[in-house]
Structure 1
């Protein structure tokens, strides 16, 4: 069993208790250490209802709590073995492609560029994301008026969030924190002492 395969079951429970889930795990050599990166995100409700409002980004406090929970779980289970490692827990940045319905649900109100399998790419704002389809508001151009486009996820081969420096207001949402991933790192030294890095 690979290190990644040992990490996931060790940390899924503690993260789930915080209302979080694992998006991805990467383990890479870093000199005599290993760098363990774990991307996390907020767990959405499983009701199957369409999302039409923005999902709040993870706060720095939530990422810090997740980092402590992951570090404790890795120490308790011994999933990393004896080799020292550096742990980085982060939320996905806007550069990560949207590949699952939950990714689209989390990005309601964001501007995205969609590559479609049998049509021209389009750029628009997600106004609704459900279990199987999404609705995108496409702005007016010289050639066509503004429109709402419904798309099955199966027709989208690639989806990328566009970074906006000025976005329409979406309530109390902190837009600055959405464009940069929240990170908190724990450096696992050779001794039993734990140094936290920000």
Structure 2
């Protein structure tokens, strides 16, 4: 079993019966000090303290198993940053109402407010490129199938 799969297996009991979920696990082997990065999330977000508890427990297990044959390693457990792409439907759900940029598989990009999330699609309302005039038709929400999405990121606004 590779390190990434072992880390994922060891994480499962610490996810509080699916309260938390694994977004990504990255393993960077090194001759001097390997690095394991674990990104966790939940439907309501995850705190630094929650990450620290999981990190301590997981770190102890990895040390006991001598995951890198006794060589030192660094373990980072955190939530995905605002610049990390959305990966799972659960992440879209908790971001309803926020500004999102969606890169489609065909290279097109869509940007707008995430209105809703279905089983197979998301719905966004794009912002008009120019200020609409009185006779312009209203902007209609657009459904985008998950299968058409290459990458989605939440857009942070400091307004």
**Aligned partners of 1:27 and 1:37 also within 8 Å:** yes
Aligned to 2:89: 101
**Aligned partners of 1:18 and 1:66 also within 8 Å:** no
| Alpha-carbon distance in structure 2 between the residues aligned to 1:73 and 1:18 | 20
| Alpha-carbon distance in structure 2 between the residues aligned to 1:118 and 1:85 | 40
| Alpha-carbon distance in structure 2 between the residues aligned to 1:108 and 1:69 | 33
Deviation at 1:132, TM superposition (A): 0.8
Query: SS of the residue aligned with 2:45?
Result: coil
Alignment of 1:1-198 (within 5 A): 1-17=1-17, 19-29=19-29, 32-42=32-42, 55-117=43-105, 120-142=108-130, 145-166=138-159
Distance change in 2, residues 1:56/1:108 (3 Å): same
Q: CA offsets per residue over residues 136-160 of structure 1, 9 Å max, x none? A: 1223442664332222212223322
Larger relative contact order, structure 1 or 2 (CA cutoff 8 Å, min sep 6): 1
The CA RMSD measured in Å over matched residues stands at 2.5
Query: SS of the residue aligned with 2:15?
Result: helix
| Alpha-carbon distance in structure 2 between the residues aligned to 1:13 and 1:102 | 20
**TM-score, length-scaled by structure 2:** 0.79
Deviation at 1:164, TM superposition (A): 1.6
Structure 1 alignment gaps of length 5 or more: 43-54, 167-198
**TM-score, length-scaled by structure 1:** 0.66
Query: SS of the residue aligned with 1:146?
Result: coil
| Alpha-carbon distance in structure 2 between the residues aligned to 1:15 and 1:80 | 24
The alignment covers a number of residue pairs equal to: 154
**Aligned partners of 2:23 and 2:87 also within 8 Å:** no
| Alpha-carbon distance in structure 2 between the residues aligned to 1:13 and 1:124 | 37
**Aligned partners of 2:48 and 2:78 also within 8 Å:** no
**Aligned partners of 2:100 and 2:114 also within 8 Å:** yes
Query: SS of the residue aligned with 1:73?
Result: helix
Q: CA offsets per residue over residues 7-44 of structure 1, 9 Å max, x none? A: 221222223458222221112245621111111111xx
